[in-house]
A = this chain, B = another copy of it.
Amino acid sequence: MKYRRSGRLVDMTEYLLRHPHRSVSLTFFSDRYGSAKSSISEDIGIVKEVFESKGIGRLATSAGVSGGVTFVPMIHEKEALETVEKLIHSLEDSTRLLPGGYLYMMDIIGDPQRMQELGRIFASFYKEAGVDTVMTMATKGIPLAYAVASHLNAPVSIVRHEQRVTEGSIISINYVSGSSQRIQTMSLAKRSLKPGSNVLIIDDFMKAGGTIRGMMDLTEEFQCTVAGAGVLMEAVHEKEKLVDNYVSLTKLSSVDAKGRKIQVEKGTMFSGDHS
């Protein structure tokens, strides 16, 4: 089947969006559409221009016989800020307040398209970090971790609190929950993280950072390195955090359970004070 330019552009856009962070050769497209490489090159130029002007991402091209194109999802700072400001507005809704000062967040975490948007922000932030695997803690970190991983073309490793995991050999570590000071256990199946991987840790919420610290230690047990850590929300905490190389999208600055008031501000990703 022969394609005209217009048809190629539609299909190529769909294909590239579905295969981020992967080099696709000109030959692949030229075979797919029965078109000359020179035409494909021009097509890519058009897609590139729109992706870049619309802030969808970058198309990195390499020349030569093995020439190809890699789609790197990104987001304009302005759009990221707008997304996070909408999120803050939603988080400050006082009906979220639960007994014990907890916030109900499942409406946000349960929204796949919102997770995709937030995931794109993290993927854009860590686009150059060489992330091999995204790690998260069950249960609530999973949706955001998958969204980030899908934009980075990386697999996900799910750490769990339990030890009765039916996944073969596991490695478990003890860690101290920073806020409750209790000793807890986290486990990860040995097969689910390759030694030598560069790991991006993603979670929904961070208080003192004990869980993130634990995942960093676990990463080391697997002979892996930490590319960074990202959380949807961090609580401004009385004591020092147990981790430093992390970014947050939002900061929970105060919860007034009696006055029913929640105050949320932009996270470290937007304040420039992240490492």
Contacts and interface: CB of A to CB of B under 8 A. Distances in A.
27 contacts: A5-B6, A6-B6, A6-B9, A7-B50, A9-B10, A10-B10, A10-B13, A10-B46, A10-B47, A11-B54, A18-B116, A98-B167, A100-B166, A104-B167, A104-B168, A104-B189, A104-B191, A107-B191, A110-B192, A112-B150, A112-B154, A113-B150, A138-B138, A139-B139, A139-B158, A142-B142, A143-B156
Contacts of A53: 1
B191 A112 contact: no
Contacts of A189: 104, 106
Copies of this chain, complex-wide, total: 2
Interface residues of A, number: 53
B46 A7 contact: yes
Interface string A24-52: 00000000000000000000001101110
A235 interface: no
Nearest to A42: B6
B11 A14 contact: no
Interface of A: 1, 5-7, 9-11, 13-14, 17-19, 46-47, 49-51, 53-54, 56, 98-100, 102, 104, 106-107, 110-113, 115-116, 138-139, 142-143, 146, 149-150, 153-158, 160, 166-168, 189, 191-192
